[in-house]
Amino acid sequence: MLDDFMVRAALAGTGVALAAAPLGCFVVWRRMAYFGDATAHAAILGVALSLAFSMSVFVGAMVVALLMALTVNFLSGRGYAMDTLLGVMAHSALAFGLVAVSFLSGIRIDLMAYLFGDILAVSRVDLGVIWSGAAIVVALIGWRWSALLTTTLNEDLAYANGINPKREQLVLTLALAITVAVAIKVVGVLLIAAMLIIPAAAARPLSRTPEGMAVTAGLIGMTSVIVGLRAAFVFDTPAGPSIVCVAALSFVMSSILRTFRTTA
């Protein structure tokens, strides 16, 4: 069954959707969209370093994404506006990554595949990495779910309950780095943030509880993958962007539904 490239693509996209769903909810609740974008952009530098030192692209992307996230956490609140800091870090990391790639003489690299993803070229090994990473992210978020929700709601309440908000932020940072590393093969660094944010944003009007929103976001993400792949096959369009387009349409439909509910 796994010899069919479309089946491998669907399984890979489903794995990414499962990892991105609960994490994307926290990104939406905490208004961390730019934070996710900056972390994703840093991954291209990790790709360049991985290829230069003959390392696993997954490891390089995860390490650099994690370092980027930790750097942003460290510098925030030290005289820099968060949006300014994230803008500088995101674009600088992407630029340094692209420049580093240009120095890789003798190494053939399809830069577009890392920028926009190449889900149709996913191998069995890639599937193992993606699903292993997704399992780690889901287990990590599930383990700290209550503490993360409390910290997101109110940091003072978290302290009162013996929860360290900085530790929970570190958990989110680690989960985000893993998600970026496993998603880079599927949708690329420029579309990772979209898969984190759009399904969660689309699920918000359709959910009554945080848990329900995470589950709904996962369903929307997986549906976007299947429908997007089918649309890419039928209309001969890029697979990664097609998946994001379907997710965007789901957000539009959920927004329309919310409008009807509020006016009814």
CA distance 48 to 151: 35
Question: What local confidence, expressed as pLDDT, does residue 209 receive?
Answer: 94
Residue 80 has pLDDT above 70, yes or no: no
The residue ranking higher by pLDDT, 91 or 140, is 140
The residue ranking higher by pLDDT, 224 or 63, is 224
CA distance 226 to 211: 23
pLDDT exceeding 70 applies to what percent of the chain? 93
CA distance 217 to 23: 10
Residue 207: partners with Cβ closer than 8 Å, 6 or more residues away: 213, 216
Q: What is the mean pLDDT of the chain?
A: 86
**Do 121 and 6 meet the contact criterion of CB atoms below 8 Å apart?**
no
Confidence (pTM) = 0.89
**Hey, what amino acid is at 122?**
V
* Domain spans in the chain, listed from the N-terminal domain onward: 5-193
Residue 135 has pLDDT above 70, yes or no: yes
The pLDDT of 130-144, averaged and rounded, is 93
CA distance 219 to 60: 30
pLDDT band (50, 70, 90) for residue 77? low
Question: What local confidence, expressed as pLDDT, does residue 230 receive?
Answer: 93
- Which residue has 């870090």 as its token pair? 89
CA distance 227 to 232: 9
The pLDDT of 132-150, averaged and rounded, is 94
3-class state of residue 191 by DSSP:
coil
**Do 39 and 68 meet the contact criterion of CB atoms below 8 Å apart?**
yes
The pLDDT of 192-201, averaged and rounded, is 92
CA distance 49 to 64: 9
Both tokens assigned to 217: 């976001």
CATH of domain 5-193: 1.10.3470.10
Residue 232 has pLDDT above 60, yes or no: yes
Both tokens assigned to 209: 């509880």
**Do 153 and 34 meet the contact criterion of CB atoms below 8 Å apart?**
no
CA distance 76 to 81: 7
**Hey, what amino acid is at 151?**
T
**Hey, what amino acid is at 103?**
F
The three-point CA angle 137-255-36 to 5° equals: 30
* Window from 15-24, 82-91, 169-178, 231-240 with minimum mean pLDDT: 82-91
Beta-carbon neighbour count of residue 124 at 10 Å? 11
The pLDDT tens digits for 29-63 are: 988 777 777 888 888 888 888 887 888 888 888 88
pLDDT band (50, 70, 90) for residue 202? very high
Residue 128 has pLDDT above 80, yes or no: yes
Residue (of 79, 92, 97, 112) closest to 38 by Cα position: 92
Question: What local confidence, expressed as pLDDT, does residue 109 receive?
Answer: 66
pLDDT band (50, 70, 90) for residue 140? very high
